[in-house]
Amino acid sequence: MRLTLDRGSYYLTAGPLFHKCLEVGFQRMRKSEGIDFLWRFTTRGDHAGLKFNFEMFGLLFEFNIYDNRHWDYDKDTWCAYHDD
């Protein structure tokens, strides 16, 4: 588990466990669009998983559960890294 603190942002990351990571964070945005909402769910692609962002008047909340592996688009599978 890792806690990252930076100017106006706080992120807690747990994992990887079976190639999965959990990330929760808060961040103060310099520019605000008022209220913004984004969610994404992918099963194939780099860092596939669930992403949920909610911003309200310059405060951003992020929640991510993602796979830490990368996707090989040519082979349509996860990249395999080997130690030679």
| 70 in a structural domain | yes
Full-model pTM = 0.76
3-state per-residue secondary structure call for 5-29: EECCEEEEEEEEECCEEEEEEEEEC
Residue 33 lies inside a defined structural domain of this protein: yes
In angstroms, what is the C-alpha Rg of the chain? Answer: 15
pLDDT (tens digit per residue) in 21-54? 999 999 998 888 789 999 999 998 898 999 999 9
| Predicted pLDDT at 26 | 94
pLDDT value of position 5:
84
Reported confidence tier of residue 6, pLDDT bands at 50, 70, 90: confident
Q: Is residue 51 part of a domain?
A: yes
Query: Does residue 84 form part of some domain?
Result: no
**How many domains is the chain built from?**
1
Which structural domain, as residue segments, surrounds residue 52?
A: 2-78
Q: Is residue 83 part of a domain?
A: no
Interatomic CA distance for residues 9 and 46, integer angstroms: 24
How far apart, in whole angstroms, are the C-alpha atoms of residue 15 and residue 19? Answer: 8
